[in-house]
Amino acid sequence: MLDNKYLNQKHRALIEEYINYVKKLIYFATEDAGDKKFKDFTDILDTVFAYSNNFYSSIKERTNMKEEFIFLIPNMTFYLSVGFLTGLKHRQNSDEMQKFVERMATKTENITGELADILIDNNATIEILQELNN
């Protein structure tokens, strides 16, 4: 796994917890799909991290882009996971795969809310510092 870029420690902690959850979910979803399926997922997930790091490098001086960056890994991981789970679906496991997708959606919604709270706190701190400097 790459050394991922984060806005701060809260961002890091939330993303790492989210990714651990996603990996566990996909691990169980791929249990009956063959030996390489979980590895295939983690290889694709590494491209999400690489993209996120490249995006961070290009925006680190532009504060208005940080709002997009903070949600990048969860959003891309969600769509990656839904596509991956859809590819695993067949007649016998359709209901189970749908439950995995629903769990991904709920977890992603929750982390998005928590990340939004980080942005709100961060923006409030910036406003206070600007007021103090004026």
Would residue 1 count as lying in a domain?
no
Domain carrying residue 107: 9-133
* The pLDDT of residue 64: 64
**Amino acid identity, residue 93?**
N
Is residue 40 a part of any domain in this protein? yes
Residue 3, in any domain of the structure? no
For position 2, what pLDDT does the model report? 60
Residue for token pair 């991922």:
4
> CB neighbours of 39 closer than 8 A, spacing ≥ 6?
none
pLDDT digits (tens, 9 = 90+) for 36-50: 999 999 999 999 999
Indicate whether 27 belongs to any domain.
yes
In a domain, residue 75? The reply is: yes
Residue 2 is assigned to a structural domain of this protein: no
Largest CA distance in the chain: 65
- Position 56 confidence tier, pLDDT thresholds 50, 70, 90: confident
Q: Is residue 4 assigned to a domain?
A: no
Q: What angle separates helix 94-133 from helix 66-88, to the nearest 10 degrees?
A: 180
For 73-113, write each residue's pLDDT tens digit.
999 999 999 999 999 999 999 999 999 999 999 999 999 99
Residue 118 has a pLDDT of 85
Q: Which residue has the higher pLDDT, 57 or 122?
A: 57
As a whole number, mean pLDDT of residues 24-40 equals 91
Chain segment 1-21, per-residue pLDDT in tens: 468 888 889 999 999 999 999
pLDDT the model gives residue 62: 65
Q: Quote the distance between the C-alpha of residue 66 and its chain's center.
A: 15
Number of separate domains in the chain: 1
